[in-house]
Structure 1
Amino acid sequence: MTQQPGLRNGLRKIIHIDMDAFFASVEQRDHPELRGKPVAVGSASARGVVAAASYEARKYGVRSAMASVTAKRRCPDLIFVKHRFDVYREISRQIRAIFFTHSDLVEPLSLDEAYIDVTHDKMGIGNATRIAEMIRAEIKKQTGLTASAGVSYNKFIAKIASDQNKPDGICVIKPHQGADFVARLPVRRFFGVGPKTAERMAALGIHSGADLRAQSEAFLRQHFGKSAGYLYRASRGVDHREVKPDRIRKSVGGERTYASDLVSEGDLEDALEKIIDIVWNSIEKAGAHGRTVTLKAKYADFRQITRSRSLDRNVEDKAEFAAIGRELLTSIMPVENGVRLLGLTLANLEGVEEKDEGKPVDEAGQAMFEF
């Protein structure tokens, strides 16, 4: 790696701040009667989805993006509360203002998490761990909420470290500790390694970062294609990505692969409704506004199609987003082969020029998930 000016030994000081159960914690803060109880932000309806869960609820296995009926089955005493995204956004702005007192290099990933590069911090403190503790203390003082922090020399490790001692914790991984820290991680903790990829890795005898590191880049390319370079570097604790405060998010969306192919119109419509709920929650969490809705479908024979509709203005609300999604689904029916994957995306986001669309983007540029 070419050393950038001002970087000591080419290394950075990166902090990843992640609020603890953000939405649910805000609700417990503002409604004392909810404190200490299992809380889910979302709808309890038959087609509802959990947007966030308190730590009391997580003990029962309740997680975000889980169907509400499943969450209620796991935790019969679960209390559902309606989301208040305007409140969450305002608190997020307050928290980001704290970040900017220490560095202009702040890269938000969502309302409740961000990277901060403090290699050259504004206050001249010079100690990333101390800065992270100051940030956490100030967040608690101003908002009454807790945050966890990961401190390391790159984004990959800092993000994983922030999850190590949750809630209300901090984890510091120094440069000489990075490779060993990554070696002990299960492969599922690596960004981009979902359940199916983890299964493929397990079949190859790859279960941990150490197992990944033992493979050649050629072997990884043979089995995991374009992800090979990332996996090869990450398994060695290497990540050269910079914190980019001008990060451009190109789209927000989600997709789901089904164990059994969907054939009937009723099954497809039910599947789409669940995706609409989950994706719109993600859109609201990201504070995204866009003009183009795209439906993605992959058939049983792996043939893939997309259908899009663009407006001359931003999609107004969830109802309009859902209506466009249903219209796009209707356009591909009836299906003959069965659908194994279905996805929905909001793109052409506010502030993104049209010429940027369709280009590959990294973790920081696109919010697309498989659930």
Structure 2
Amino acid sequence: MEFSIHDLCEVASLGLSQQSAYPDENKKIKIKKLSLLNNSVIQCQFYPYAEESIDIKNEIAFIMDFLASFFRAEFRLKNIQNFAVQAYSEEDVEIMYALSSLQAADWISEGRAIEWLRNTLFQENTVDHRMMIAKRQISWLENSLREVIAKICTQNFGNNWWNNCVDSALNKKLPKNVSHQNLTIREWLNNTYIVDLKNIIIKQWDKFKSIFPINKIDFETILETLNIIRRDEAHNREITDDKIKQLDEIYHKIMGNIGTAYPELVPQYLVENWRSGVTNIIEEYKQNQIIINKGESLPNAIMQTQIMVRRLKDIELKLQSIIVPPLKQQLHYAIP
């Protein structure tokens, strides 16, 4: 009996929907759609049970392994070159995309999961991925603001600058936040929050306005927005895409101002992390670069081009996700 591609995808979808990525739990794979793209890619769209990135990747690996096993035996599908799996939220928003070659998908069943991860193209928009970005950027912003405050206040008021720059409300609040009171001024500063840092700067705005060349009210608004995001992060509330965009704008504006005025306050490890991150992304692209051979059939050439475009978009997203030191921003965002 001859089966069409549509029939085979239906059978694969039915079989996969009876499987569970969690052996000890009755959680069947929730298929959204399974189809053939451009005669060369088997694509499965599904709704994961997990929310965290690593757990969603585990579900994707299970699906990839099933697809590789099922379609390996289908000799009629000679043109299949890749497997694609898309994970969707309950609101039908794509939260993760994975693209593997046939060889990479086979590695899963061989117990070579690390190699599969390294050779699979991922695009992420998961809750924990956004939370990780938020924690990192907020921490660097807080620490950099503390460094600027310590530097400016010491220059203007000497080593015992605290009482000149801090209002009584903050002094009353701080002992509740720390275990003991025999602290140095710097230790007091390290126990402040974003709203406290904002108030210190605003109280001495004449001393800080050359560092942050914007209107005082605008500066207050920026730090109030940052404080709202910080509260969400501290209480493990979901960090949305819009908040990540807001945070990124705040980060580049504040860190750019600080880095211009005091390059030495930008930690060297930020530069090293940036350089290492860019190098790793480019090396990964080189290792998985797609070359379209002369004489390739038109459908395959189109498909390979589409995959190449998706990978280039992935490279762009990864480069955008890197924390860029202020002094390297012009180089990082330069258009050749």
TM-score bracket relative to the smaller structure: under 0.3
**TM-score where L is the length of structure 2:** 0.26
Using CA pairs below 8 Å that are at least 6 residues apart, which structure has the higher relative contact order?
A: 1
More strand as a share of residues: 1
TM-score normalised per structure 1: 0.24
Q: Which structure's CA Rg is the greater one?
A: 2
